[in-house]
Amino acid sequence: MTTNKKLSSARLTQPTDKFVEEFTASVEFDQRMFRQDIRGSIAHATMLTEVGVLTPEERDQIIDGLQNIETEIENGEFEWSIAQEDVHMNIEARLIALIGEVGKKLHTGRSRNDQVATDVRLYLRDMIQPIRSELSRLQEALLNVAEREADTILPGFTHLQTAQPVTFGHHMLAWYEMLVRDAERLDDCEKRVNSMPLGAAALAGTTFPIDREMTANLLGFDRICQNSLDAVSDRDFAIEFNSFASILMMHLSRFSEELIIWSSAQFDYVDLGDAFCTGSSIMPQKKNPDVPELIRGKTSRVYGNMFNLLTLMKNQPLAYNKDNQEDKEPLFDTIDTLIGSLRVYADMMGAITVKASNMRQSALRGYATATDLADYLVRKGTPFRDAHEVVGLSVAYGLKNNKDLSEMSLEELKQFSDQIEDDVFDVLTLEGSVAARNHLGGTAPEQVRAAVQRARFSR
């Protein structure tokens, strides 16, 4: 269906070596940009008509041909040719085969350099939408869990040691806040993505009277790349996107680590649901948290893609170089990995079962309310350092006698400070501890519910 004669081979006196042809071709992976390539070509043809380079009849033939090609590709009827190297030349060659000489006029005033730079930006811009959608779905899943578990108490950790009691809802809101920052980074990144290189041609612009503003409007770009050299060689937007993706995957990896720990028999805080786990080939009792483990592993893959792009660009002189062909596979892989990870995470968090009783029993171990006792003494007039010492002695006593602070009698506690009275037990309970942190950003159930409502209102 497409011709094997290269559209860019007139200068060469010998045919391209077969292996070199395969080695340098990118069509196997960049063909996914066919819609963006066709969209860009239609806008380019429309603009060329307005400035008098094409006639309306030629424009219509070109657009009809491109639309037919899009249908062929969508129906699986298009024959991709490695000899034509990439998605751009494959489509142009097919266009010429379909409509003849008029098809050869499409490339007037542009180069593959600005064409590919435009296609990549269009593709990434299109993919930002499903990423934003899946990210929003995960945020909503976390808000649902936070609201449902606003009163559920578990130990909060520092250094993975019991620190203070918190609510599971509060913990989920911490994850949510990370994703809020990720969403902000994505929005900011999109601003740099949405800048149009088309019109820069190979590197210096074109002698034809093009209207870049018109083309940008047709393609929905917010701005136009201001320097032709930079326009064709810039891949900062792809690196920035991968940076955003790396931070987001780091957050998912942190979530995953906690889910893996919490779903272990030693913690038994949550059940991830059978749909998100697998069994063992030899141990019938096993239920492995494969989804969070795999996402934890895929995080390193996204990190690798970011460093791939940084390394790719670090020694390139202006302007375009063939090296830049290598930008697409890491970018595409990051996009695919990110969408898949967000999708499965949103589904998994929507099905999570929280084992509140196990969490509460765990919070009763490790003297989680020790800081509450210190704060109580400070409010009674004891200097903080003295209060710290009193609580330390109380904990040492509890360890020796296998008693939590809340399990000690008033007489046992008063041996460490005369300022301890009956009201101390109001702060030594887990519920009293979390309820006392009733301020903006605190773990009190009232604050968790308020935070969920604020988050939903701002979405």
Q: Which residues are catalytic?
A: 159, 280
CA distance 195 to 175: 32
Strand partners, 196: 224
Q: What angle do CA 188, 192, 197 make, to 5 degrees?
A: 165
Helices and strands in the chain, H and E counts: 19, 6
Which DSSP symbol is given to 429?
Answer: S
CA distance 288 to 285: 10
Contacts of 382 (CB under 8 A, 6+ apart): 390, 417, 419
CA distance 138 to 9: 50
Distance of CA 261 to the CA centre of its chain: 23
Q: What phi, psi does 296 have (nearest 5°)?
A: -60, -40
CA distance 171 to 262: 13
Distance of CA 167 to the CA centre of its chain: 27
CA distance 380 to 400: 27
Closest CA to 372 of 445, 424, 440, 446: 424
